[in-house]
Structure 1
Amino acid sequence: MDSPASHRLRRGRFSEPGRLYLLSSITRDRIPIFESFQAARCIAHQFRQAQLEGAARTLAWVVMPDHVHWLIELQQSSLACLMRRFKSRSRCALFKLGKLQGTLWQPGYHDHALRREENVCAVARYVVANPLRAGLVKKLGDYPHWDAVWL
């Protein structure tokens, strides 16, 4: 169920094909389910699946223990449809793996439409550097759950 103010988050949300978006979603109660290597790779597979279906072109992503960041170019989908399918499929896949009982994601998600003047590579660096800022690793190459098209 959405929080009482969640409708305000959706006000003005517009899905524009060809536009770049930074999407973020958090696990329910910030449970660190993606500490499991298998669970994190399952999420990475869902990013690839969205690209294979033509819903979004993935530019960069990182799977943190309790949340994800996903930099995309929206293609043949809306943000709402893309995130609904991503969350549903990831939950089903983790359930089948035996890694999940119950709800996986908190309701909603955060989206930021990049402005033309924003440096896309800088945003991608911000995304993939999350494990460094969180203190999970000393160097980015030690963290296995991220990717960017520029590498």
Structure 2
Amino acid sequence: MHPHPNSHLLRLGRWSEPGRGYLLTVVVHERRRIFSDWRLGRLLVAELRRAHDEQWVNSIAWVIMPDHLHWLVQLEQRSLAKLMQAIKSRSTLTINRTTGNKGAFWQKGYHDRALRDGEDLRPYARFIVANPLRAGLVKNIGDYPLWDACWL
């Protein structure tokens, strides 16, 4: 049996529209909790900021959980596929180099949800930022080191 029998379905109907908001989720290969080491999470943060600084996206909010990333963006100069390929490959190289690991770092594919024009992004940002609270990782969001939102 294929380890990810429906992974090909993640691509069906996917399209990219500059200026549209997207809620993105990417999961670490085999759901390893590698970002429990927040220093490794900071390497991923550097890639998220790089995408923002290079104007591929307007980064609105993100949280790096121990085994996955949630990222709310407004797409600018890249397609979703090119954005995620760049983020995943560059972070894989950096993290694997740091840890001495080789091979897959992220699961194949990613989940995206296109947001409606004019839709309020704040509820999505709050959902993202509150993930560590819901997961019981901290009692106060200020105690969690791997999140940010543009409204702060």
Give the alignment's TM-score, normalised by structure 1: 0.94
Letter in 2 for 1:45: A
Partner residue of 1:64? 65
Unaligned ranges ≥5, structure 2 = none
Partner residue of 1:123? 124
CA distance in 2, matches of 1:138, 1:98: 29
Partner residue of 1:81? 82
Partner residue of 2:52? 51
Q: Give the SS at the match of 2:59.
A: strand
- 1:85–1:2: structure 2 CA closer, same or farther, 3 Å change rule? farther
Unaligned ranges ≥5, structure 1 = none
Partner residue of 1:27? 28
CA distance in 2, matches of 1:141, 1:32: 21
Letter in 2 for 1:119: D
CA distance in 1, matches of 2:90, 2:9: 26
After TM superposition, give the deviation of residue 38 of structure 1 in Å: 1.2
- Give the number of equivalent residue pairs: 151
1:16 aligns with 2:17: yes
Q: Deviations over 1:9-39 (max 9, x none)?
A: 2111110000000000000110000011210
**After TM superposition, which residue ranges in structure 1, 4 or more long, deviate above 4 angstroms?**
none
Partner residue of 2:145? 144
Q: Deviations over 1:44-85 (max 9, x none)?
A: 111001112221110000000000000000000000000000
After TM superposition, give the deviation of residue 103 of structure 1 in Å: 1.4
CA distance in 2, matches of 1:77, 1:145: 24
30-39 or 6-15: bigger deviation: 6-15
CA distance in 1, matches of 2:120, 2:17: 19
Pairwise CA RMSD of aligned residues?
1.6
Letter in 2 for 1:127: I
1:81-120 correspondence to structure 2 within 5 Å? 81-98=82-99, 100-116=101-117, 118-120=119-121
